[in-house]
Each structure stands twice: as C-alpha cells, then as structure tokens.
C-alpha cells in the first residue's frame, strides 16, 4: 500500500505575459495539468491552472488575474490537454484566449446565452 503524502498546495499568482513560460517550466518538471478553471470576481477574471506531481501529490496552481479585455495566450501547444479547459473558459466566461490548438469557436456547449458566467452585458 502506498504512503499517503499530504503536502501544502502552492499558489503562484503570475502576470499573463509569463503564463506560457511557467507552463513550460511545469511540464519540464514532469508535472501534469490536473485542472484549469476560471472565475469572474470583482470585475476581473481569475484563471487557475493546477499542475500535479503524481509522486509527491503536490499541487501547484498558476493564477492569472486579468481585466475583461486582456488577451490570454493558450497553453495548448505546451499542454495539449488544456484544450477543453480553455475552450470552456472562452465560451462560458467570454475570456479572449488566442492561439488555441483546437478552437471550438463557442460550440463546445449547447447554450443559448453568450458567456453566461462572465460579466453581464451592462458590466462589459
């Protein structure tokens, strides 16, 4: 039976312009993308990309806090499994993610409302 390790999780808040570099660094460290998500909080987007170490169970999250009109480069060329996470961020929140390796062009979900989890039209 494997020993259960319960380390502290690490949260790194980074600027959007180093997201690709930090993602590549995590990949080179042998970490895998375990989840990515977005939230709209206090008139800003918070994007979280969590990388897991399967040997130590350590989780490192890269957090990018951006304005509504900020362009975000996709990490899919570095981490292909991010494709669905980033399409979801783009479609459900209205985040301007560019360079997606496979862009579903807002057709990942069958929803009637544009960016239902992003800012309301009067906020935009």
pLDDT digits (tens, 9 = 90+) for 26-36: 999 999 999 99
Sequence ranges of the domains in the chain: 10-98
pTM above 0.75, yes or no: yes
* Per-residue confidence band for 1, with pLDDT thresholds at 50, 70 and 90: very low
Rg (CA), the chain: 15
Looking at the domain 10-98, which fold is it?
Answer: Beta Polymerase; domain 2 (3.30.460)
HSE-CB at 41 with a 13 A cutoff on CA atoms is 8
């Amino acid at each position: 039976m494997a020993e259960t390790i319960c380390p502290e999780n690490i949260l790194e808040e980074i600027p959007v312009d180093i997201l690709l570099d930090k993602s590549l660094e995590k990949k080179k460290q042998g970490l895998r993308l375990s989840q990515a998500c977005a939230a709209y909080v206090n008139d800003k987007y918070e994007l979280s990309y969590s990388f897991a170490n399967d040997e130590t169970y350590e989780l490192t999250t890269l957090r990018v806090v951006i304005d509504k009109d900020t362009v975000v480069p996709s990490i899919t060329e570095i981490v292909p499994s991010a494709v669905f996470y980033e399409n979801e961020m783009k479609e459900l929140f209205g985040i301007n993610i560019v360079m997606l390796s496979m862009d579903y062009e807002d057709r990942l979900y069958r929803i009637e409302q544009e960016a239902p989890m992003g800012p309301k039209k009067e906020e935009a």
